[in-house]
Amino acid sequence: MKATTQNGKLFHYMAAAEITFVVLDEKTKQPMGQPTFTRVNCLVTHTVDQIGIQQLAVIQNTAQMALKQKIGDEEFLKLAVLDVLISNVFLLGFMTPDEFHHRPEPKKGLELVRQQMAADTLQ
């Protein structure tokens, strides 16, 4: 099913990526030690329900920005990213940004009891 944006709705995706990098010597800018990696999750949106090469590039960039946010700007500048392996991309849904960020209000104890009693009487 290919759909486009409707009423501000976008396809929301969660991507899991593994970023391989080396730490650079501050003076020589040469790699110090062996490459290492970390895993990050990132959220991306798209207007269609297909992931093409352009969207993969967006996911790779967003994953690197997630690493930058995780370790800070100064530490990120000390790294050389060698590879970004996208391990999974999960479709979270077709929704507006408000729908995506909506958090239902917690139900009060009495309301939960009433709902359970109503469900029990229907059975």
Domain regions of the chain by residue span: 10-122
Q: Which long-range contacts (CB under 8 A, 24 or more apart) does 32-36 make?
A: 35/82
How high is the pLDDT of residue 19? 98
How high is the pLDDT of residue 98? 87
How high is the pLDDT of residue 105? 72
pTM of the model: 0.75
59 by Cβ neighbours in 10 Å (0-12 / 13-18 / 19+) ranks as: buried
- Name residues of the chain where pLDDT drops below 50: 1
User: What is the sign, positive or negative, of the torsion defined by CA atoms of 115, 118, 119, 120?
Assistant: positive
Could you give the CA distance from residue 111 to residue 57 in angstroms, rounded to a whole number? 47
How high is the pLDDT of residue 71? 95
- Per-residue pLDDT of 62-81, as tens digits, reads 999 999 999 999 999 999 99
Q: Is residue 31 a contact partner of residue 22, using CB atoms and an 8 Å limit? A: yes
